[in-house]
Structure 1
């Protein structure tokens, strides 16, 4: 069976830097949550002081039904 490139695990190419660190995430919005197999996933938009073109998506994962969560990662 041949797999599409879209199904391959992503590679981290660069460090996102301090601009995207949690201390600079002033706005949180548009939350979503889903469960796939053994993982619970939560995501939301974050960024500056409100909605705007420079926001980005944050994703976290839980393997114990939400009792503990991974560190947030920036999704591109």
Structure 2
């Protein structure tokens, strides 16, 4: 089973694409953006999910990092 939430690699201009159950939710520039996308998807306790690997997969960089290098 794959994780329902994927926070993708950093974009060259900053931010990370977020997908929820395979659907693009948006481009996050911080954890609050991710939490809002998850809330809109019906997951109100999003902040508690961000560090749970069974829920969230962080790809291509450190978790909670959104700034371009």
State TM-score, norm by structure 2. 0.28
Give the structure with the larger helix fraction.
2
Give the structure with the larger strand fraction.
1
Q: In terms of Rg, which structure is larger? A: 1
Greater relative CO (CA pairs within 8 A, separation 6+): 2
State TM-score, norm by structure 1. 0.27
